[in-house]
Amino acid sequence: MNKAIVYYTIMVFLGMLSGYLYFFNKVIALIFFITISGVMAVTIKNKYAILMIIFLILGFGLFYQYFNIDVPRRGVYELKLDEYKEYYTEGEYKGRRVNLNLPDNKEKIKEGSYIKGHGVFKKEISYENGFIGTIYIDIVKETRSGILQKIYEFKNYTIDSFKETLGDKRAAVINGVAYGMVDSIDEDTMNQLKTLGIIHVISVSGLHIALVFSAVEKVFGYKVALIICFLYVIFTGSKAATIRSFIMIMMMKLSKCLYKKYNPLSALCTSALILLVYKPYFALNMGFHLSYISTLGIILFYNKIRKLLYKLPEKINSNLSLCLSAQVFVFPYTAFSFNNFALGFVIGNMILIPLYSVLVVLGMIYIPIQFIPVLKNVSVFLIGKLIDFIYFLCGILTAISPNISYMDYAIGIIYMAFLMGIIFYFNNIKWGKALALSACICAAISSYNFFPLIFPVKEGYEHGITVNDGFKRELIIINEGKSKKLRNKYVGFEIKPLKDKNMKVKLNSKYGILVNENKRYLITDKDYETLDLNVEGCIYTILNGKILKIGG
Q: Which amino acid is located at 549 in the chain?
A: K
pLDDT on residue 420: 67
Decide: 465 and 455 in contact? Cβ < 8 Å: yes
Partners of 118 in the beta sheet? 76, 139
Numbers of helices and strands, H then E, in the chain = 18, 17
- Could you count the other beta carbons within 10 Å of the beta carbon of residue 171? 23
Share of the chain above pLDDT 90, in %: 11
Length of the chain, please?
552
Closest by Cα among 131, 129, 133, 139 to 109: 139
- Strand runs (DSSP E) across 352-426, as ranges? 405-406
Decide: 317 and 309 in contact? Cβ < 8 Å: yes
Choices 2.40.50.140, 3.40.50.300, 3.40.190.10, 3.90.105.10: CATH for 74-145: 2.40.50.140
Q: What is each CA distance from 210 to 214, 242, 366, 436, in whole angstroms?
A: 6, 9, 18, 35
Q: How far is residue 376's CA from residue 281's CA, in Å, rounded to a whole number?
A: 41
247-279 residue pLDDT tens? 988 888 888 777 778 888 889 999 999 999 999
471-511 residue pLDDT tens? 777 787 776 766 566 776 676 677 776 666 666 666 666 77
377-433 residue pLDDT tens? 999 999 999 999 988 988 888 888 776 666 665 666 666 666 766 666 666 666 566
CA 230 distance to own-chain centroid: 22
Per-residue burial over 214-223, b = 16 or more CB atoms within 10 Å of its CB, e = otherwise: ebbbeeeebe
335-383 residue pLDDT tens? 777 766 777 788 888 888 888 888 888 988 888 888 888 998 999 999 9
Closest by Cα among 118, 123, 114 to 76: 118
Q: How far is residue 4's CA from residue 51's CA, in Å, rounded to a whole number?
A: 10
Domain chopping of the chain, boundaries? 4-67, 74-145, 285-341, 408-446, 449-550
Beta strands at 89-93 and 114-126: parallel, antiparallel or unpaired:
unpaired
Decide: 520 and 533 in contact? Cβ < 8 Å: yes
Phi-psi region of 75 (alpha: psi -120 to 50; beta: other; left: phi over 0): left
User: What are the phi and psi torsion angles at 452 (to 5°)?
Assistant: -60, 140
Name the pTM for this structure.
0.77
Closest by Cα among 152, 191, 158 to 174: 158
88-99 residue pLDDT tens? 788 888 889 998
Q: Which amino acid is located at 519 in the chain?
A: K
Q: How far is residue 146's CA from residue 98's CA, in Å, rounded to a whole number?
A: 19
Q: How far is residue 549's CA from residue 522's CA, in Å, rounded to a whole number?
A: 11
